[in-house]
Chain A
Amino acid sequence: MIRTALEVGMTKSPEAILFWVLAPLSVLAAIGMLLVKKAVHSALLLAWVMISLAIFYIAQEALFLGIVQIVVYTGAVMMLFLFILMLVGVDSADSLLENIKYLRPIAVTAAIGIGGLLVSLIGRATISHNAYGLSIANQNGNVQGLAQLLFTKYVWAFEVISALLITAALGAMVLAHSNKVRSKFSQRDLSAARFRGKKLAEAAGLPGPGVYALHNAVDVPARLPDGSAAATSISRVLEARGDVLESKQFELQQSEDESSDK
């Protein structure tokens, strides 16, 4: 069952077709992940890369790994990532300031250098060398084989990982969970605070977004009686994302004429 690596790479099976379709796509997605501006897009592209990898794993007989890759990485981690991005990350912009001069060219050179080095080394080492498939390991089934290893040979490491997980949970608690120093604001407190605020106008609550003849959505600010846009009428998050539309363009043409008449 031993074939050379080169042979494996050139199999004319469906696996090869799969590879040549998916591999370029996943590389593109990986590059795109670095280049796109918005974090959400980047996360989605990353998810795409991970799904492609999972497919490769499955195609190469590592069924369990492939499923785990999807369930854990794409399913859990990436989704969690997206949630977090949506919750907190949207209006926090990345600083694109380069503290170190010429960091970019240096990084690119280093990346190309080490990449080239590795490619050439691995190429030299793989081409015309024997490669082992997973058929021996999978004799009794992929999952069964893995389980056997996990619970016999590597049981110690497997158990010790629990320490890692507890640490992670504990760390999350330390960094995020706060013991209440004082009682939460009640409805009453909030109401009182509103009336004691600086402006009495705010006591009644913030204005809703704009409603116009041509457009009616959360991304257009309302207009105040004096003709200016009400900044407080729009969600802060939309503003940070730059998804706010100018309210003027949705006003009736007539009103503009009126104002010009004066």
Chain B
Amino acid sequence: MLTTPSFEYLLLSPMLIILAAAVIGVLAEAFLDRNHLPVIQLFISVGAILLALIQIYRIKSSSSTSAAIGSVVIDKATIYLQGTILIIGLLALLLISDQEQFVAQASAIPGSREEQESTSKGSIQTEIYPLLSFALAGMMLFTCASDLITLFVALEVFSLPLYLLAGLSRRRRLLSQEAALKYFLLGAYSSAFFLFGAAFLYGISGSVYLVDISSAVSGGYGNDVFVLIGLIFISVGLLFKISAVPFHAWTPDVYQGAPTSVTAFMAAATKVAAFGAILRIFYVVFSPIANQWRPIISVIAIITMVFGSAVAIAQRDVKRMLAYSSIAHAGFILTAVLALNKSGLSAALFYLTTYGLSTLAAFGIITLIRDATGEVTDLNKWAGLGKKSPLIAGSFAFLLLSFAGIPLTSGFIGKFAIFSAAYETGNIAVVVFGVLSSALAAFFYIRVILLMFVAQSQNDSISIAIPSVKSRIAIGATTAATVILGLFPSLLLNITQSFSIFIK
């Protein structure tokens, strides 16, 4: 009576490789000599990501809805998103492997003698590597999950490691732990919302598979009220992950508290994964009832853009500022969800990639600006950075301009693509609010540039750390990508165009 489930292992291999790497990492943690662990773990993680990327390349033109008995759908968009997540993961890994930002002994009480001793002994929490791999695998699964249960499991698989990683900052540990706790609690709430919504959708369709829910929704049988409740609660869970207003409250605290390289990874990769799922759900499942949810999502997109840009102006901490800017960017990408057409999907994929890379670069640069107590995130202390290191300050300024969407940067092309896709479906109000909040956002980006280049520096306490080769590769590659994709966006646009296909 039981039929043996069959898997298409080749299609699942990118995820399986990363999961395997994570498990091997855990085993290595248990059995191998601590002194060699950092190198071994880095080797395992990087090797796995590279292998997974090769697999992604090998399956780039395949598609299947039965790779894991209907729980996973491998299509063009999935492959693109997984590839993006892996690349972001690889670059973030290079930043993270500069262990200096991580606490030496997470179990030591902040400020205790044990903490001091383990720090001076140079111990290292190498567990971050398997944790990161788990997060990566969860994110990859999140973009391709095609039933609600897998979606929920994937959500938890990538969230849990992030909660942990957020609490491992070496400096200002209490802040970091508070951030982790906040992230964890709010994340748990949002997961509950998601689950609640999923239950309702199961209720109306009698199935957890997206394709069945989609036909139930469009077929009109079932119950409209349940559809809406399910839709809204599922959206709450997902919007939390992309930090859309009003589910954004965790973002600034977590971005600020987490170790900067983890923030970089979180900001870049979580957005890709969460938007991957949002795009799939709205494009595949809920597009037949677009008229019902478009007004809601439009309002959320507008509020998110405007609020994120407006509040960012008041920030005095560069990480908080980037957090609010990431909120605003979430609003921009939401307009692509509203577009519900192929150019919208392609624009979203482009935007996610370029934004992810620029964000990595920006946070990567933040890790370099230091004083005696560690990283300096107070903007006032950034005054006069342009004089100290024109290259670093110039790169940061360029990245900010890209966030602001100034032409000849990748950010501009992304905004253009997204807004024109949204305009095509007649969301003119969203477009107008979008450009206006871009202007608003430009204000604080410009202020930072002004601060770095024009303001007089009050103190000379800050210094710019000489980046290690790994950081140099990560920051250099991501900054270069921002430049190149600004000048020659076709390189990526052609790819996103051909990869913007969802199958049911």
- The answer to whether A and B touch in the complex, with CB atoms under 8 Å apart, is yes
State whether the Cβ of A93 lies closer than 8 Å to any Cβ in chain B: no
Residues in B neighbouring A157, C-beta threshold 8 A? 71, 147, 149-150, 153
Cβ A125 vs Cβ B134 within 8 A: no
Interchain nearest-CB distance for B187 vs A (Å): 13
Counting contact residues on chain A (CB < 8 A from B), the size range is: 20 to 34
Q: Please state if A171 and B225 are interface contacts (CB–CB under 8 Å).
A: no
> In residues 67-126 of chain B, which contact A (Cβ within 8 Å)?
68-72, 105-108, 114, 117-118, 121, 123, 125
- Interface residues as binary, B12-51 with A (CB distance below 8 Å gives 1, 0 otherwise): 0000000100110010010000100000000000000000
Quick check: B71 and A154 within 8 Å, CB to CB? Answer: yes
Given the complex, which residues of A lie within 8 Å of B29, measured CB to CB? 170
A148 to B1, CA, bound (A): 9
- Count CB-based A-B contacts (< 8 Å): 104
A125 & B223 in contact (Cβ 8 Å cutoff): yes
B178, CB-defined interface residue at 8 Å: no
A179 contact from B34, B68, B137, Cβ within 8 A: B34
A107 CB within 8 Å of chain B? no
Instruction: List A residues 121-158 near B (Cβ within 8 Å).
Output: 121, 124-125, 129, 148, 151-157
Q: Beyond A174-B106, A178-B105, is A156–B69 a contact (Cβ under 8 Å)?
A: yes
Say whether B252 faces chain A, with CB atoms less than 8 Å apart: no
Neighbouring B residues of A175 by C-beta, 8 Å = 106-107, 164, 167
Answer yes or no: B314 CB below 8 A from chain A CBs: no
CB pair B168–A174 under 8 Å, yes or no, is yes
Also in contact, A151 and B5, with CB within 8 A (given A125-B223, A157-B71, A175-B164): yes
A185 CA / B141 CA spacing, docked (Å)? 48
CB within 8 Å for A156 and B150 given contacts A163-B138, A167-B157, A174-B106: yes
Q: Among A121, A129, A170, which residue has its beta carbon within 8 angstroms of that of B130?
A: A170
Is there a chain A Cβ closer than 8 Å to B229's Cβ?
yes
Residue of B nearest to A175 (CB): B106
Partner of B107, one of A125, A156, A164, A177: A177
Most buried by B among A153, A163, A171, A176: A163
Alpha-carbon distance between A170 and B24 when the two chains are bound, in angstroms: 13
- Whether the Cβ atoms of A163 and B106 lie closer than 8 Å is no
Neighbouring A residues of B7 by C-beta, 8 Å: 156
Does A86 interact with chain B (Cβ within 8 Å)? no
B502 close to A (CB within 8 Å): no
Partner of B114, one of A155, A168, A181: A181
A161, B168: Cα distance in complex, Å: 24
Docked-complex contact A152 and B22, CB < 8 angstroms: no
Q: Which residues of B contact A129 (CB under 8 A)?
A: 223
Q: How many residues of B contact A (CB 8 A)?
A: 50
> Does B442 lie at the interface of the complex (its beta carbon under 8 Å from any beta carbon of A)?
no
Among A174, A176, A179, A182, residue most surrounded by chain B Cβ atoms (within 10 Å): A174
| B137 → chain A closest CB, angstroms | 6
Chain A residues with CB under 8 A of B5: 151-153, 155
Q: Which residues of A contact B461 (CB under 8 A)?
A: none
Q: Tell me which residues across on chain B come within 8 A of A168, comparing CB atoms.
A: 160
Q: Which of B70, B114, B163 contacts A153 (CB 8 A)?
A: B70
- Nearest residue in A to B12 (C-beta to C-beta)? A156
Given A163, A173, A182, which contacts B19 in the complex, CB threshold below 8 Å? A163
Interface assignment of B226: CB less than 8 Å from any CB of chain A? yes
- Shortest Cβ distance from A65 into chain B, in angstroms? 14
| Partner of B229 from A121, A156, A178 at Cβ < 8 Å | A121
A179 touches B164 (CB 8 A): no
Measured between alpha carbons, how far is A124 from B225 in the docked complex, in Å? 8
Contact partner of A160 among B123, B141, B223, CB < 8 A? B141
Report how far A71 CA is from B138 CA in the complex, Å. 28
Cα separation A160 to B160 with both chains bound (whole Å): 13
- List A residues 85-133 near B (Cβ within 8 Å): 118, 121, 124-125, 129
Task: Report A-chain residues with C-beta under 8 Å of the C-beta of B127.
Answer: 170, 173-174
Whether the pair A163, B147 counts as a contact (CB closer than 8 A) is no
Decide if A166 is an interface residue (CB 8 Å cutoff): yes
With A160-B154, A166-B23 as given contacts, are A178 and B68 in contact (CB-CB < 8 Å)? no
> Which residues from chain B contact A118 at a C-beta distance below 8 Å?
229
Is there an interface contact between B225 and A160, defined as CB atoms closer than 8 Å? no
Distance in Å: Cβ of B244 to nearest Cβ of chain A: 19
Nearest-CB residue, chain B, relative to A172 = B164
Across-interface contacts of A152 in B (CB, < 8 A): 2-3, 5, 69
| B72: contacting residue among A156, A176, A182, CB under 8 A | A156
**Residues in chain A near residue B134, CB distance under 8 A:** 163, 166-167
Contact B105 A181, beta carbon cutoff 8 Å: yes
C-beta contact mask, A160-203 vs B, less than 8 Å → 1, else 0? 11011011101101111111011000000000000000000000
- Closest-CB distance, B396 to chain A (whole angstroms): 32
- Kindly identify, within residues 323 to 382 of chain B, every residue whose CB is under 8 Å from any CB belonging to chain A: none
> Which chain A residue shows the least CB distance to B203?
A125
Does the CB pair A161–B153 fall under 8 Å? yes
A118 to B127, CA, bound (A): 43
Interface string of B154-170 (1 = CB under 8 A from A): 10110011011001100
CA–CA, A177 and B22, complex, Å? 19
The reply to whether B131 and A170 contact each other, CB–CB distance below 8 Å, is yes
- 16 A–B pairs (Cβ distance < 8 Å), ordered by A: A118-B229, A125-B223, A151-B5, A152-B3, A152-B69, A155-B69, A156-B150, A157-B150, A160-B141, A163-B19, A164-B160, A166-B22, A170-B127, A171-B131, A171-B164, A178-B107
Q: A160-B141, A160-B150 are in contact. List 6 more A-B contacts (CB 8 A).
A: A121-B225, A154-B147, A163-B157, A170-B127, A173-B127, A175-B164
For the complex of A and B, 5 pairs with smallest distance between CB atoms = A156-B68, A156-B71, A178-B107, A171-B164, A157-B150
